[in-house]
Amino acid sequence: MLIGSEQQNTFTAGAVWPDPYRDMAYLAPVAQRALNERRGLVLPYAASADSAGASGAYVAYPIEVAGELKGAIVLDTAPRPEAQLQHALRLIHWANAWLVDLFRQQLLQDRDRTVARMALANGIVATALQQRRFRPSGLAVVNELAARFACDRVSLGLDHEGSVRLEVISNTASFDAKANLSRAIAEAMDEALDLGVAVVHPAEGDDRFTSTSHAALALESKDIAVLSVPLADDGRNIGVLCFERNGGSVFDVEAIETTKVLGLLLGPILALQRANERGAWRRGWDFTRGGVQALFGPRHGGLKLLALTACAVLAFLALASGDYRVAAKTVVEGAMQRATAAPFEGFIAEAFVRAGDTVKQGQPMARLDDKDLRVELAKWSAEREQYLRKYRQALASHDRSAMNVLGAQANQAEAQQALVEERLERVQLLAPFDGVVVSGDLRQLIGTPVEQGKVLFETAPLDAYRVILQVDEREIGQLALGQTGELALSGIPGERLKFTVKQITPVATAEDGKNFFRVEAQMEGGVARLRPGMEGIGKVEVGSRKLIWIWTHSLVDWLRLSLWSWLP
């Protein structure tokens, strides 16, 4: 009778009759065929190459439970009729039911043990999760484990810089870590942590480790059995659970396997609870140490490659140099800008141009209403004639006092008449030079009054421009007169226009919460599509700097200023 072993698809002889020491290897081909075909077989000796010409037959039948092969039964029978061979096969089939039932009972027992083990593990995990802090959770866990495994004492210790530090003991609110019993428990935990496997005392079988520290602990506390199981988290042992019994029985295989599973389940929970209780400095130190270990330790090839790449990039930035340019928001203005204002109070009669129109020198731009002026001119002209007539009458009568008064009044009327005539000459507003109207649109204001001196139009020339840069106060120290730069405008982003810094205004203006200095620059050459008022980004070439300085100087300056403000 062949029985399946723990290795997959491997079967060994479980029973041999009548001689248990006889070599039964010659039956292996028949058994293999019955297992492969999963059916009963009756093979005469002639079917076997080793027994050619002999009489008798082989009878084989597989043992199958729930679709899984558990073994096979093979008979080497004496010569007999074929009907008796078929009857023997039928008897084996009926007897096989007892073996199938036995295997099914074993499966049910294994399943019941697994379910009980999982229920125990779930209960312990639930106990650990009921508390948010590590120490209350650990104490609740060891108390529960002591009750479930009938232990007199269960201890929990965690790895602290290569050695185990005893954290909690079941049914004990506080303990002295320097006491003999506490040191003995910690030494036993150190032994299990170093070995990285479960250690049991007394050891049973060849697969158990002989532990001197566990034997010393058993002698110290008069235990009949000690079991230590590592707590694992992310493939690393972070602590140890130590079980002690002063009476009863030693730890069996079922208890050892169950505690191993608990070590795998409780490790991540306790590690997470302890990690959550760390301070900020401890978190930073652990993160740094983990990064260093990953960087210089085994594995983590991707991280090492990334670190090497970062070092190479930093080395390149520290050694290589490049042109440093100060960028600033830029506006294009005319080299000169002339304002056309209202010469007197009046009403707008006509508007001939608006912002954006090109004008020639002397071209009418707008006209004010002159009706009131002409009425006033007629008034002063009539008064002048009246004063002159009276003056001549006084002259004829030789009335000197009247002549002086009337002469002064006639001169006053003449002056007022001349003033009105001058205003009539300025009724029409003319372009001061060839250029473009920068601002002003009076077409929607026909008939509205204007005050004397109000700016109606602004005109700039088309052949001379200047660049106004708004430089941040943090960069103004880098600029100097005579530096050159390039300008990219939103309207013509594909072209780069050259300019030279001509003036740096020493007065800052606030905008959008920042301080800016006004820097004027002169364009080098002109562009036909260039118009006053265009905006863009200008970059002034300061000089050669290290690339790492170019990319980090803003942050470094901010850190310096912040540190200075924080220091007392």
Predicted confidence at residue 441, as pLDDT, reads 81
Helix (H, G, I), strand (E, B) or coil at 484: strand
* Cα 230 to Cα 158: distance, rounded to the nearest angstrom: 10
pLDDT per residue, tens digit, the chain (568 aa), is 888 876 667 888 888 988 888 888 888 888 888 888 888 888 887 544 444 444 578 888 898 887 888 889 999 888 778 788 788 878 888 888 888 888 888 888 888 888 888 888 888 889 888 888 889 999 999 999 999 999 999 999 999 888 899 999 999 888 888 889 999 999 999 999 998 899 998 876 544 456 788 899 998 888 899 999 999 998 889 999 999 999 888 898 888 989 999 999 999 999 888 888 877 887 788 788 878 888 888 878 888 888 899 999 989 988 898 889 999 999 988 777 778 888 888 888 888 888 878 888 888 888 888 888 888 888 888 888 888 888 888 888 888 888 888 888 888 888 888 888 888 888 888 888 878 887 888 888 888 888 888 888 888 777 677 889 999 988 888 889 999 999 998 888 888 888 999 999 888 888 888 889 999 998 887 666 777 788 999 999 998 989 888 888 889 988 998 899 888 7
Predicted confidence at residue 228, as pLDDT, reads 94
Element (H, E) at 420: helix 400-425
Check residue 66 and report its DSSP letter: T
* Cα 89 to Cα 99: distance, rounded to the nearest angstrom: 15
**Integer angstrom CA distances of residue 396 from 347, 383, 391, 403:** 46, 20, 9, 10
Predicted confidence at residue 509, as pLDDT, reads 86
Contact of 519 with 487, CB cutoff 8 Å: no
Check residue 519 and report its DSSP letter: E
Predicted confidence at residue 209, as pLDDT, reads 53
The string of DSSP codes covering 107-139 is HHHHHHHHHHHHHHHHHHHHHHHT-SSHHHHHH
* Cα 237 to Cα 161: distance, rounded to the nearest angstrom: 12
Kindly report the CATH number that applies to the domain delimited by 464-554: 2.40.30.170
- Exposed (0-12), middle (13-18) or buried (19+): which is 326, by Cβ within 10 Å? buried
Sign of the CA dihedral with 173 first, then 178, 179, and 180 last: positive
Q: Residues of CATH 2.40.50.100 domain(s) within the chain?
A: 338-458
Using the structure block, give the residue that is written with the tokens 């970062």: 310
Q: Over the range 232-252, which residues count as b (16 or more CB within 10 Å of their CB) and which as e? A: bbeeebbbbbbbbbeeeebbe
Contact of 124 with 265, CB cutoff 8 Å: yes
Q: Please list the alpha-helical segments (H only) found in 238-370.
A: 253-276, 280-296, 301-319
Q: Dihedral angle at the C-alpha atoms of 319, 323, 324, 326, nearest 10 degrees?
A: -170
Q: Residues of CATH 2.40.30.170 domain(s) within the chain?
A: 464-554
Predicted confidence at residue 372, as pLDDT, reads 82
Predicted confidence at residue 52, as pLDDT, reads 42
Contacts of residue 137, defined as CB under 8 A and 6 or more positions apart, other chains included, come to 127, 128, 129, 130, 131, 269, 270, 273
Helix (H, G, I), strand (E, B) or coil at 67: coil
Q: Residues of CATH 3.30.450.40 domain(s) within the chain?
A: 2-113, 130-279
CATH number assigned to the domain with residue range 130-279, chosen from the 4 options 3.10.20.30, 3.30.450.40, 3.90.1300.10, 3.90.550.10: 3.30.450.40
Using the structure block, give the residue that is written with the tokens 């003991």: 169
Predicted confidence at residue 187, as pLDDT, reads 92
Predicted confidence at residue 167, as pLDDT, reads 92
Check residue 354 and report its DSSP letter: B
Architecture of domain 338-458: Beta Barrel (2.40)
In CATH, 2-113 is 3.30.450.40: yes
